[in-house]
Amino acid sequence: MKRVRWFGADWPVGLRTLASKMRAHSFQSQSAEGFLVERVRDDTITGRYIEKLAVQETIVDPFGEPTVFERTVYNQLEFNLTSKFPHIEFYDAPRNTQSFMSKLAEYNNFALTIAPLAVNIMDWADSLQRAARSRATVSTLQVSGLEVDKGVTAKLLLSGDKDVREALRSIAKNKKYDLDRLHVRLFQDGLPVTVQLSRSGSAKLEATHLEEFVPLLRESLPRP
């Protein structure tokens, strides 16, 4: 599975200027960190940000004597930056992206605004269905904050071999709740494709479907 996540941004500088600054800080064999820019257009930058880390591991032998080994780890952040919403796109981002974000801020004269997304994933699923021109079934829904009594909330996972949206409406009625994530099953050339949507503005899907579905996910993502 591949995870793609989007953010909103307001670019103070043009993307070609930004790409030039990234290329001036290219990752080399002796670098601790840097960029590998793969493609630049007036409205797009595609590339990777790489951090080189030295990690120490200790192994204790049967006699209690420790041996320390050092190995090199490369954290790679694959990104796509665009002038149109959604402006920042990450692929399988590592847990910590602070170094990359700091570089972006520096290259934008510290005037860059980056906004995490809070998405209505039911609207996203409906919009994705229209963009894909496919029938769709929501097979899984994860809900939190559902008020079942005064001062009591529940977290639910609804899953079925049919669409579970009607079941959620039956359970929730007019109560408040948060939709955290869902699985929507679409059909492409007669074959099912399952996509997980998250309210943080991220999606998970099989890597083999990235090329055809990421543009549709990007196009259908609700604007804040």
Enumerate the domain spans of the chain: 2-116, 121-220
**Among 178, 180, 182, which residue's Cα sits nearest to residue 204?**
182
Mean of per-residue pLDDT scores for the chain: 93
Q: Is residue 188 over pLDDT 90?
A: no
Contact predicate 139/166, CB 8 Å: no
Q: Is residue 187 over pLDDT 90?
A: no
Determine the Cα–Cα distance for residues 197 and 120; give it in Å rounded to an integer. 10
Q: What is the pLDDT of residue 69?
A: 87
Check the CA dihedral 94-44-2-113 and report its sign. Answer: positive
Contact predicate 224/117, CB 8 Å: yes
Contact predicate 118/179, CB 8 Å: no
Tally of CB atoms within 10 A around 102: 11
Tell me the sheet residues that pair with 51: 33, 75
Specify the pTM.
0.89
Considering 6-20, 140-154, 185-199, the range whose residues carry the highest mean pLDDT is 6-20
pLDDT in tens, 59-110: 998 888 998 889 899 999 999 999 999 999 999 998 889 999 999 999 999 9
